[in-house]
Amino acid sequence: MGLKSNRNFSISKGPMSFDQFLKEIAPLLGLQWRPFQRRGIKRKVERRIYELGFSCFDEYHLKVRQDPDEKGSLSKILTVTLSRFFRDQEVFDTLGHSIFPPILQNKAEGELNIWSVGCASGEEPYSLSLLWNQQFKKDYPEVRLFVLATDIDEKMLRRAKEGRYKKSSLREMPMKILQEYFNEEDGLFVLHPSIKGSVEFKRHDILTEEPFLGMDLIFCRNLVFTYFSKESQIKVLAKLFRSLKETGYLVIGKDEALPLVYPTLFIPLFSDQKIYQKFTPSPQ
């Protein structure tokens, strides 16, 4: 019988509280513990403890320390996977009028490489492909868009490849795009195959794995600079720097900030939209 999500998985009161558990375990996962203090997350962790047959946070703490797979499972519980199409629409507007044009000016042909890190169920990379199709594809027939979308969670990637969405994830979508690229089926909105085929999905852990290289633009929103510890943020920032071409662009979440590093790796271009450009000092 399936477990109901609203069930109360009460576990016994061991010596370790939920807060202590998170404080000790988060750094082991490369995360910071502060944002997780929400009732929903506690319930999900308790449910996991119950499913594994443990009875308190202390026992689970030991399990996570000893089992790398369980570290992955707990990381998934602690990071939110919600996304939506054209999230923070002004960012996509700015991209359309101020970022794509200068990239394309220097690129009469070849590939425009974009990487969406922590892509959830595909809303972000598909939005980038939709923007390209709507505004640029016709004028740049010799340029091929390559959108790479990565996530640590296989389940999210499977959903992304299916390309079927609830109305709630489409609320920032311009109506024209919705009508042109989606069909409604059984209350879900199904993305057109031509857009589905334009994004390559891969499982990838941005914290522990090497970056993909040669990117013109990286979207890394609502993951690294929200959930990761400062140390992990700095580590990932260096990877993103390496991944980008010399004048490449980095977009982070609207409520996020880059950690301070010296020497500077990125300069802000559109501070409100959190759009940065890779900083390459000119030779003396």
Using CB under 6 A, which of 80, 104, 178, 234 touches ligand SAM?
Answer: 80
Using CB under 6 A, which of 57, 61, 79, 199 touches ligand SAM?
Answer: 79
Q: Is 156 in the site for ligand SAM (CB under 6 A)?
A: yes
Cα 103 to Cα 96: distance, rounded to the nearest angstrom = 11
The answer for 215, left when phi > 0, alpha when psi is -120 to 50, beta otherwise, is: beta
Run of H or E including 252: strand 244-252
> Amino acid identity, residue 80?
V
Which residue stretch of 13-21, 132-140, 151-159, 176-184 sits at the interface with ligand SAM (rule: CB under 6 A)? Answer: 151-159
Radius of gyration of the chain (CA): 21
Q: Return the number of other C-beta atoms located less than 10 Å from residue 190's C-beta.
A: 16
Q: Is 93 in the site for ligand SAM (CB under 6 A)?
A: no
Binding residues for ligand SAM, how many (CB under 6 A)?
21
Q: Is 170 in the site for ligand SAM (CB under 6 A)?
A: no
Cα 9 to Cα 278: distance, rounded to the nearest angstrom = 47
Q: Is 46 in the site for ligand SAM (CB under 6 A)?
A: no
Using CB under 6 A, which of 28, 62, 77, 82 touches ligand SAM?
Answer: 82
Using CB under 6 A, which of 90, 111, 180, 205 touches ligand SAM?
Answer: 205
59-67: long-range contacts at Cβ-Cβ below 8 A with a sequence spacing of 24 or more?
59/14, 60/21, 61/16, 61/21, 61/24, 61/25, 64/25, 64/28, 65/25, 65/28
Site for ligand SAM in 209-248 (CB under 6 A): 221-223
Q: Is 103 in the site for ligand SAM (CB under 6 A)?
A: no
Q: Is 25 in the site for ligand SAM (CB under 6 A)?
A: no
Query: What's the closest the beta carbon of residue 131 comes to ligand SAM, in angstroms?
Result: 15
Query: What's the closest the beta carbon of residue 121 comes to ligand SAM, in angstroms?
Result: 7
Q: Is 269 in the site for ligand SAM (CB under 6 A)?
A: no
Q: Is 83 in the site for ligand SAM (CB under 6 A)?
A: yes
Residues 247 and 278: beta-carbon distance below 8 Å: yes
Q: Is 151 in the site for ligand SAM (CB under 6 A)?
A: yes
Identity of the residue, 59 or 256, whose beta carbon is nearer to ligand SAM in the bound complex: 256
Buried (b) or exposed (e) across 31-64, using 16+ Cβ within 10 A? bbbeebeeeebbebbbbbbbeeebebbebbbebb
Q: Is 274 in the site for ligand SAM (CB under 6 A)?
A: no
Query: What's the closest the beta carbon of residue 152 comes to ligand SAM, in angstroms?
Result: 4
Q: Is 87 in the site for ligand SAM (CB under 6 A)?
A: yes
Q: Which residues, including other chains, have CB under 8 Å from residue 182's CB and lie 6 or more apart?
A: 165, 170, 189, 190, 191, 192
Q: Is 120 in the site for ligand SAM (CB under 6 A)?
A: yes
User: DSSP H helical segments within the chain, as ranges?
Assistant: 18-25, 39-51, 57-66, 68-78, 89-94, 100-105, 123-135, 154-162, 175-181, 193-196, 224-227, 230-243
Using CB under 6 A, which of 74, 147, 173, 206 touches ligand SAM?
Answer: 206
Q: Which residues bind ligand SAM (CB under 6 A)?
A: 75, 79-83, 87, 118, 120, 124, 151-153, 156, 205-207, 221-223, 253
